[in-house]
Amino acid sequence: MEQYSISFDEFIGILFNHKKVEISHKTEKIIIDSYNFLKDFSKNKVIYGVNTGFGPMAQYRIEEKDQLALQYNIIHSHSSGMGTYFSPEIVRSAILCRLNTLSLGKSGVHISLIHLMKELINRDITPLIFQHGSVGASGDLVQLAHLALVLIGEGEVFYKGKRRSTKEVFKEEGLKPLQIHLREGIALMNGTSVMTGIAVINVHYASLLLEWSIKLSIAINELVQTYDDHFSKELNAAKKHHGQQVIALKMRNYLSDSLLTRKRSEHLYTGEHKESVFKDKVQEYYSLRCLPQILGAIYDTICSAKEVVTNEFNSASDNPIVDLETQQVYHGGNFHGDYISLEMDKLKLAITRLSMLSERQLNYLLNPKINEILPAFVNAGKLGFNFGMQGIQFTATSTTAENQTLSNSMYVHSIPNNNDNQDIVSMGTNAATITHKVIENTFEVLAIEAITIAQAIDILGNKEKFSTTTQKWYQEIRKIIPFFSEDITPYPFLEKVKTFLKSNS
């Protein structure tokens, strides 16, 4: 991992493909030079977090004999998280974010900290970090304190599937706890790394959701043998939004070998059509016809979030900042989480919208009055005696409704605290955490839709006419849940399909 930046895909490779983290000699040198500079520079100057207290208590000088103990004090006092703890993949992402930002040589930390953080990632040692605690202004102080607590050999970790004391696991792995050298406590805690770590995971899964939404949407278009002009190049090029044109192109590519979509010119543009009520539907419902416009906006939102998140994990987000080039230390607010908070609110809205689209498409399939080709609730059994997808629809509808409520903004819910020192805060970690919940919910809605489409394909009995794209995922779904006409207990299958969607694009 080089000094200046890693790409989003490289970051994801470490998280999900378990590629090992390495620290280059160039990066090591910059970190060491930064530490040595700050150590000398701070001897006769007032430097926040080295020889001062923290927050509104920065007006108090800390004597040299107490400066290292001060770092331990901030770690211990702020290890105050509560609630549900973050998943291993989120914590791993947060550690990688913190490791990358501290490796930029802007923080003045000792090299031993970098190597120990690297070992946590490479050995799958996951600190216990709680969801509740951050207001996202001086960064993720509380959650990062729990990371720092583990690094100094205290607190708890998850290791080989068990929750255990850090001290025991470090002893087994032959790891020595971090010894504070200068300002490693506040350097670890001041920053946006937890909210950014969650945001990385969110963007990754949001991209998967979008891809699945496109694939499920085209399958429904095939089911009803829709006309192809709503995803045509000509129509979508008439609107100057990049995402819309990307989605339309994907639809054309995925449907290129479908035998079910129809050309309008061959049906409604030929003959005289003098009937007063047209037999063929002239235009489909919006949830089928407006896909490039709806999913295009979501695509652009995900792209924006990806750029912001990549910039953030490649940035120095603590305070103060060491600059070796000018040989100065600069105080400011790089720990403020506004970029992540705003972007996660936007992403949350977009994914909620995606779940709403899925729920409406599901309703279209289940209601014979509007699709006019399938039995009620895509019921392959005896109507009135069997229920098909009737019970499952309730889950999709209620989950979508929860998304709609969760989509209220966190970004505009600043509450002053810290003796009004933090008088405007980002709530970025809350924003990212709630967005993560919305994404998990949406995978559940899409799992229900995927099963329903698979049932519909079997009921119509023409799966050989569907596109290769649709046939491929249909076959994978059928390995998980076979076609059913008798009523089944669906919840085990729903969870398995959700897992499949999260792990496959």
Single out the catalytic residue among 4, 35, 48, 411: 48
- Helix, strand, coil percent content, the chain, rounded in steps of 5: 60, 5, 35
User: Phi-psi category of 134—alpha, beta or left, where left has phi over 0 and alpha has psi -120 to 50?
Assistant: beta
Provide the token pair at 166. 């850090």
Contact yes or no for 473/220 (Cβ under 8 A)? no
| Gap between the Cα atoms of 172 and 174, Å rounded | 6
The three-state secondary structure class of 181 is: coil
| Gap between the Cα atoms of 6 and 2, Å rounded | 7
Distance of CA 408 to the CA centre of its chain: 17
Would residue 364 show up in a list of annotated catalytic residues for this protein?
no
| Gap between the Cα atoms of 293 and 295, Å rounded | 6
Dihedral angle, C-alpha 151, 154, 159, 164, nearest 10 °: 180
Element (DSSP H or E) covering residue 349: helix 338-366
Contact yes or no for 248/260 (Cβ under 8 A)? no
| Gap between the Cα atoms of 411 and 346, Å rounded | 10
| 3-state SS record for 192-247 | CHHHHHHHHHHHHHHHHHHHHHHHHHHHHHHHCCCECHHHCHHHHHCCCCHHHHHH
Provide the token pair at 438. 């919305």
Contact yes or no for 152/72 (Cβ under 8 A)? yes
| Gap between the Cα atoms of 133 and 385, Å rounded | 51
Q: To 5 degrees, how large is the angle CA 309–CA 313–CA 316?
A: 130
Active site residues: 48
